[in-house]
Structure 1
Amino acid sequence: MGRGSPYPEEFRNDAVALYRAAAGRRTYAAVAADVGVTGETLRSWVRQADEQAGRVRGGEAMPEERDEELARLRAELGRLRKAEAEWQLEREILRRAAQYFARKMKA
């Protein structure tokens, strides 16, 4: 069993909130330097907060999120297959038209 953190929970929550407010603009190390901890410490606090909030489970998306993404991807695949079938039909029409006009030009 690990030892308790020397930092109060409120401090850790504030550090996580500060990182999230700057997400995309600042690194873990930059935010951690501002609050006086290491980048890895802040990264572990963010990870723990995500796990407690139920946002991440074992590094994977939650089942509901996966189901939504799977449904979206299946719909997109259906649209792409339909478009591919239409493109194949168009190519076939153009190929036959090119053959027809090529014969007409020889005659």
Structure 2
Amino acid sequence: MRFQVASRLVGIAIRRSLGSRGKRNDRVPAVRKYPDDLRSHAVQLYRESDPKPAISRLAEHLGVHREALRTWIREDEATHQDDDQLVTIRLAELRDLRKKNAELKRANEILRAASALFAAELMEVG
């Protein structure tokens, strides 16, 4: 009888701690194995090297796992590729806007000249 009561109490405690989905409610965030400054330093070393070193050799030199370094480099390249594409798009937009601005300035000059001409004709007639 005591065993049944004890096992029932343990079951209730487990269900309460797991919540409604069967997962623990008190999740602890994952601890990063490598500090952020090491990540940024490692990626910077790789980007600034010419010729590019082997990732495994650089990882061994820095004391990090080669797949971790490879992942950091891929993430950085994806971020910089997006930045480069954005810059290219912005430069194209700027070029188009400058072209349109020049056309509008020419049209304004033509309209000013035409209005001055019509004003002069009206003064002669009037």
Larger radius of gyration between Structure 1 and Structure 2: 2
- Normalised to the residue count of structure 2, the TM-score between the two structures is 0.42
- Normalised to the residue count of structure 1, the TM-score between the two structures is 0.49
